[in-house]
């Protein structure tokens, strides 16, 4: 499967990439810079920096723009394990095994962030560039992970666990890498991954560990054909922790026919924000803006929440603004935002009483510099799940 403007395949499609000379290692410098800014503005609520790290990395100017979320399909991936049982999908001992892959960026591109969908029998801990980014264990449904990347190469490492004696063991992942030029590429677990028929050595997840003498992984099955059946994709993000908000706390039973403005500023001075994924729904319709730019619109009539990828966050200050309109009856806005930071961490921001809201939509309300300090906080209508909306909302897959 090939998306427009996208290359697909295991990295072996680019077998002889030269090392790209263009990328300076600036990440520690960025971290230091951010720390200096924090120290210099101890009493301020706001911190700003002119450039994102890609803008200041030669050859990594970020021209990627927000777009509707593209799933990282599991159905192109393969189950892998060590091959210590030569029968694919055969039984294995209770064990933990390391699996690693260094994915190098094509020379004319810079990686910026990734969506990862991973399933495992029986469990996995997933690391990117040495940082633990998540853990789970389910061969029936994948787990979705989001992570910021390094420009020129990224080390993906998994500790796979077989916790049941004499049972099949495997890990299956699809990694969708977004580049700063707006393109993306899909990578999968396959026979190019490295593994050991032994417990993961100390620091196996770190780039400083050399895996060049490790064995190649053995295919245990494909998505279509394996002992596990076909795992389902997880929802892109949960809405379960989000609140329905509006300008009145009884909007679920009826609200004025009007457009309301909502704003949330994410101001994280100590870290460098890279990408965001937004899942949003409104009764009856909305337009979402990030840092003043229109991202997309959706309506109740669509019956489904819509997810967007924002690949161009500003380093420390990001403004999410929504113009939401009630046409009839109940009114509400519900959203979950997941921000990835350069250090491998993430932050989930949900609609709640900390958002700002007004019953009119002033001109320029979406601008990062718009002053919302005299707006009241949004009213919490209720937790996700309350009537009349319930939990039946369709949520796109990761």
Ligand X SMILES: *[C@@H]1O[C@H](CO)[C@@H](O)[C@H](O)[C@H]1NC(C)=O
Distance CA 305, CA 318 (A): 22
Tell me how far apart the alpha carbons of residues 64 and 311 are, in angstroms, rounded to a whole number.
6
**Binding of ligand X by 145 (CB under 6 A):** yes
Closer residue to ligand X, CB minimum distance, 92 or 280? 280
Kindly state whether residue 134 participates in binding ligand X, applying the rule CB under 6 A: yes
Contact 183, 109 (CB under 8 A): yes
Q: Which does 162 bind (CB under 5 to 8 A by kind): Ca ion, ligand X, none?
A: Ca ion
Which token pair is 259? 């457009």
259 contact, one of ligand X, Ca ion, none, CB 5-8 Å limit per kind: ligand X
The pattern of x and - marking residues 289 through 328 that bind Ca ion according to CB under 5 A reads -------------------------------------x--
Q: Counting contacts by CB under 6 A, is residue 77 touching ligand X?
A: no
Cα–Cα distance for residue pair 305/24, rounded to 1 Å? 40
> Does 90 interact with ligand X (rule: CB under 6 A)?
no
Site for ligand X, residues 155 to 194, rule: CB under 6 A: 155
Choose the contact partner of 121 out of Ca ion, ligand X, none; CB within 5 to 8 A by kind. Answer: Ca ion
117 phi, psi to nearest 5 deg: -115, 125
Structure tokens at 308: 């967007």
Binds 250: which of ligand X, Ca ion, none (CB < 5-8 Å by kind): none
Stretch that binds Ca ion, among 115-123, 192-200, 244-252, 259-267 (CB under 5 A): 115-123
**92 to 163, 169, 229, 231, 299: CA distances (angstroms):** 10, 6, 18, 20, 49
Given 64, 119, 133, 158, the residue binding ligand X (CB under 6 A): 133
| Residue 122, preceding peptide bond in cis (omega within 30° of 0) | yes
Q: Which does 325 bind (CB under 5 to 8 A by kind): Ca ion, ligand X, none?
A: ligand X
Q: Considering the complex, state which of residue 104 and residue 249 has its C-beta at the smaller distance from Ca ion.
A: 249
CA-nearest of 239, 257, 232, 237 to 247 is 257
Bond prior to 298 in cis (omega within 30° of 0): no
Binding site partner of 75, from Ca ion, ligand X, none, Cβ cut-off 5-8 A by kind: ligand X
On the 0-12 / 13-18 / 19+ scale of CB atoms within 10 A, 359 is middle
Residue ranges binding ligand X (CB under 6 A): 1, 19, 73, 75-76, 102, 104, 133-134, 144-146, 153, 155, 207, 259, 323, 325, 338, 346, 361, 363, 365
């Amino acid at each position: 499967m090939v998306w427009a403007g996208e290359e697909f395949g295991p990295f072996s499609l680019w077998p002889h990439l030269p090392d790209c000379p263009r990328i300076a290692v600036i990440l520690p410098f960025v971290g230091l810079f951010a720390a200096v800014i924090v120290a210099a503005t101890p009493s301020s609520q706001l911190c700003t920096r002119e450039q994102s790290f890609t803008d200041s990395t030669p050859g990594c100017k970020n021209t990627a723009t927000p777009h509707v979320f593209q799933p990282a399909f599991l159905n192109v991936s393969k189950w892998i394990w060590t091959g210590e049982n030569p029968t694919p999908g055969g039984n294995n001992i209770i064990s933990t095994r390391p699996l690693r892959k260094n994915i190098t960026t094509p020379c004319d591109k810079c990686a910026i962030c990734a969506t990862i969908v991973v399933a495992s029998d029986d469990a996995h801990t997933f690391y990117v560039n040495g940082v633990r980014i998540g853990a789970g264990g389910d061969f029936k449904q994948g787990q979705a992970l989001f992570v910021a990347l390094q420009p020129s190469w990224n080390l993906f490492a998994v500790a796979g666990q077989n916790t049941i004696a004499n049972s099949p063991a495997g890990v299956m992942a699809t990694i969708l890498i977004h580049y700063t030029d707006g393109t993306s590429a899909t990578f999968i677990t396959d026979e190019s991954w490295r593994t050991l028929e032994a417990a993961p050595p100390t620091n196996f997840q770190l780039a400083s560990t050399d895996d060049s003498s490790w064995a190649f992984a053995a295919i245990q099955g494909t998505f279509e054909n394996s002992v596990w059946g076909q795992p389902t994709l997880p929802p892109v993000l949960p809405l379960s922790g989000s609140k329905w908000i509006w300008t009145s706390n009884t909007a679920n039973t009826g609200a004025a026919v009007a457009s309301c403005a909502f704003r949330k500023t994410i101001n994280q001075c100590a870290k460098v924000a890279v990408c965001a994924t937004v899942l949003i729904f409104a009764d009856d319709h909305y337009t979402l803006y990030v840092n003043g730019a229109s991202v997309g619109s959706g309506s109740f009539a669509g019956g489904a929440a819509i997810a967007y990828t924002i690949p161009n966050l500003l380093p420390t200050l990001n403004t999410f603004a929504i113009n939401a309109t009630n046409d009839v009856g109940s009114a509400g806005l519900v959203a979950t935002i997941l921000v990835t930071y350069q250090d491998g961490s993430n932050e989930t921001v949900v609609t709640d009483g900390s958002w700002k809201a007004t019953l009119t939509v002033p001109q320029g309300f979406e601008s990062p510099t718009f002053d919302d300090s005299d707006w009241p906080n949004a009213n919490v209508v209720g937790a996700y799940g309350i009537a009349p909306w319930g939990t039946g909302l369709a949520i796109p897959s990761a």
